[in-house]
Amino acid sequence: MTTELVLLPLGVVAGALTQRVTGVGFALVCAPLLVLVAGPFEGVVLSNLLGLTVSIVVFVTLWRDTEWRKALLLVVPALATIPLGAWVAHNVPPAQLMVIIGLTVIVALSAVVLSDRARVLRGTGGAVAAGGASGFMNVTAGVGGPAIVLYAVSTAWEHRKFVATFQFYSIFVNLASLAAKGGLPHVAPAALIVSFVALAVGLAGGELLSRRVDHEIARRLAIGLALAGAVFTVVKGLLAW
């Protein structure tokens, strides 16, 4: 446990910093260490709790940039598909499901990056599709960000407004995920304290770094993280096949 508690804050700091600068990526960066410390179930629940906290803090600092109509168009379908995703996760072989989901996101995200003609997630329909897919993917594969990034790229969403709106979205998705899993994580108090201290450090560092990182660079980092999340989903599915 001592070794894990040394590594844990490094992962949480990196995850919080990444989320503040790019808007996404907290769970992708730190979830593996959280699972190592708390186990596969409680580790994901702890990731949801910390992710919720990160989203609230970032949202409070950027709420004026939130695009409320887009936020609701993403949140409502996500909340609608979370129960379906939970049912599928319990009744469909998860390995095959993760591979299909991950490959779909990789192909779609690569297409929109390489060609303007492939930017199909536009307008109201695009937001609803992205939100629904993200909520479904968050429950079934633990990766909800790539679908929203896909929508952001398709619509050339201004990065600062995307970051603010995504935090609003993430608050509801993480709350729903915690509710679906029975509430707060059951972990050692030491791990919880270390996690929240590291979270504060990462958010403070991310706030400073976000003022120095160009928005276009941050947007590209978000796309890279989305692709990495999709690849991680495919690999996880293949290993469990």
Convert the pLDDT of each residue in 209-224 to its tens digit. Answer: 888 888 778 878 877 8
Lowest mean pLDDT among 1-15, 63-77, 173-187: 1-15
pLDDT at 40: 63
Rounded Cα–Cα distance for residues 103 and 108 (Å): 8
- For the chain, how big is the Rg over CA atoms in Å? 17
Are 123 and 70 contacting, i.e. CB atoms less than 8 angstroms apart?
Answer: no
Task: Decide: 154 and 146 in contact? Cβ < 8 Å.
Answer: no
Predicted local distance difference test score (pLDDT) of residue 212: 87
Question: Where in the sequence is the domain holding 158, given as residue range(s)?
Answer: 2-240
Cα–Cα distance, 229 to 15 (Å, whole number): 13
Quick: pLDDT tens for 178-213: 887 777 888 888 888 989 999 999 999 988 988 888
Q: What's the pLDDT at 1?
A: 55
pLDDT of residue 59: 95
Mean pLDDT taken over the chain: 83
11 has a pLDDT exceeding 90: no
Does residue 69 surpass a pLDDT of 80? yes
Can you read off the two tokens belonging to residue 209? 């770094």
| pLDDT score, position 42 | 78
Q: Is the pLDDT of residue 114 over 90?
A: no
Neighbours of 24 (CB within 10 A): 27
Q: At what angle do helices 94-114 and 68-91 cross, to 10 degrees?
A: 150
Tens-digit pLDDT profile for residues 134-154:
888 877 766 778 888 889 988
Cα–Cα distance list, 83 to 102, 130, 195 (Å): 20, 16, 29
Does residue 165 or residue 15 have the better pLDDT? 165
User: What is the per-residue pLDDT for 132?
Assistant: 94
At 147 the pLDDT is 85
Do 124 and 134 meet the contact criterion of CB atoms below 8 Å apart? Answer: no
Question: Both tokens of residue 16?
Answer: 């919080």
The count of domains in the chain is 1
> How confident is residue 118, by pLDDT bands cut at 50, 70 and 90?
low
**What length is written for the chain?**
241
pLDDT of residue 97: 72
What is the spatial distance between Cα 224 and Cα 219, in angstroms, rounded to a whole number?
9
Provide the pLDDT for residue 68.
Answer: 96
The yes-or-no verdict on residue 168 having pLDDT over 70 is yes
